[in-house]
Amino acid sequence: MATTSSDGDVPQGHQQSPLAGQRTAEQALARRSYFPLGYKEGFYQWWTSISPAMAEHRVLSLIPNLQRPPTHTQTGSAPASAAASTMDITTNPSHEAQPVTSIDDPYGPRRWFSNLVQLSGRDRALNEFSVERVGEEVENNLVMLHGYGAGLGFFYKNFEPLSRAEGWKLYALDMLGMGRSSRPPFKIHAKTRQEQIIEAENWFIDALEEWRVKRRIERFTLLGHSMGGYMAVAYALKYPGRLNKLILASPVGIPEDPYAVNADMPDPDSSTIQNEFTQDQDATVGDSPAPNGARSSATATPRRPLPKWVTYLWDANVSPFSFVRWAGPLGPRLVSGWTSRRFSQLPPEEAKTLHDYSYSLFRQRGSGEYALAYILAPGAFARNPLIRRIQGVGRQYIGLHSGPTVDPEGQSRPRENGVPVVLMYGEHDWMDIAGGYAAEAKINEQKERLLAGKSEEERSQDHGDAKVVIIQKAGHHLYLDGADQFNSVVLKEMEDVRRRERERLARL
């Protein structure tokens, strides 16, 4: 579980951290206060400013059966600290982390890795955390992508349970320009609106494809949360034949909104994205009925007015994390407005660890975060909605594609024979589940249309289907709020992949 240290960044041992102590003593008041972290404590965190590597290390130390997680220290984009960290999390002078084998492991032994995978071009590299089972051949690979502005550490409750699956290797990646991956300047050169969207999507998914090539992975299962889910669909469209299953956890950008698709810079009257910053975790893991727990309409999703100044800043491509960087000593206090609500159900020290991790990432140099305004309109509606394209997942022509667009029909070229798609939502998700059901219907309708008149053998070889799964007592971060059910569902899907892949290889 959590490791202890002599690091001078944050008080250790029996002394309780400022934020954790405040959460314990004033929990009710913290829920009412928008920024519960005090000025003194916020200044202390800003002054000590632990590195992103250290913050990630402490989060991964929460993983069961992993005594000391490997953590490379090659985060080149972190801002300078006012006080240097005294903890040495790697003794390798090259800043690379040696693999760690969990020996006293009831589900192991397992080997854990932390790497910075260099890509082509200047300042392009992906932060990677992975785990494999010792003594077993790797038959399948699961790749996990986080949401907007987040990092791979948020999957800390999923790594251990999911890596129990035999024959699997798990990878979690920080997307390019986010987390602890490198942060090259984000620049769009295209002129037209549609070309700008494609260029922004390619910026992320081309890095993922280059990572796949470097890791020599032929096919894999891709799991993406929120923005990671959006990019997972884009990857499936541009790089056909590489996925054996697509798992979308509360993906952003599926529903269509007239403002987002018709205006150059839309200004919708309302949105649900504010729930991400204002919704308390107590409201997502409780027993109260949720409108998203059934086949709801779009109007069933709670909506709140989107202030004009938010729309103005969005259109000007001022990211939320810019305020954290500009705030200086007030930055930790601003972040506590989100973390105190998002992690309100976690033990105080665990919540404090995630707060530190969040702040360490949010305050880094801006990069991939600036893609948001090109991909989403104000209010988290996609400028090119996935509902217009998702029927092409698993139905693309095999070969090179310039972008994540749907191939036209009628050409006599080899096509994919379908990819299973699983759409997962939290019972109290602010993301509109109606979009998930619409995507499910569109994918399944496309399958029936393409297989009409086909033989039983041809139909049996098609893998294109979709389903929606609801994670109980969970919100948008369902992998964290409802970790047990989430992990159980994903493990079943992994077993299904293993069966399908063995059948596919037997036919070759």
226 part of the active site: yes
The enclosing H or E element of 32 equals helix 27-32
The SS3 of residue 346 is coil
**CA pseudo-torsion sign 381, 387, 389, 394:** positive
Name the β-bridge partners of 171. Answer: 130, 143
Q: Active-site residue among 340, 476, 477, 481?
A: 476
Which residues, other chains included, contact 309 with Cβ-Cβ below 8 Å and sequence gap of 6+?
Answer: none
Nearest to 159 by CA among 180, 142, 139: 142
Q: How far apart are CA 303 and CA 13, in angstroms?
A: 44
Q: Active-site residue among 61, 85, 182, 226?
A: 226
476 part of the active site: yes
Q: Active-site residue among 7, 105, 356, 429?
A: 429
Q: How far apart are CA 29 and CA 18, in angstroms?
A: 15
Name the β-bridge partners of 270. Answer: 305
Q: How far apart are CA 282 and CA 31, in angstroms?
A: 10
429 part of the active site: yes
Q: Which two tokens stand for residue 112?
A: 């854990």
The SS3 of residue 11 is coil
For 383-440, what is the HEC assignment?
A: CCCHHHCHHHCCCCECCCCCCCCCCCCCCCCCECCCCCEEEEEECCCCCCHHHHHHHH
Contact yes or no for 508/219 (Cβ under 8 A): no
Amino acid sitting at position 143: V
CA distances for 119 relative to 74, 123, 127, 171, angstroms: 14, 8, 11, 17
Q: How far apart are CA 53 and CA 55, in angstroms?
A: 5
Q: Which residues are catalytic?
A: 226, 429, 476
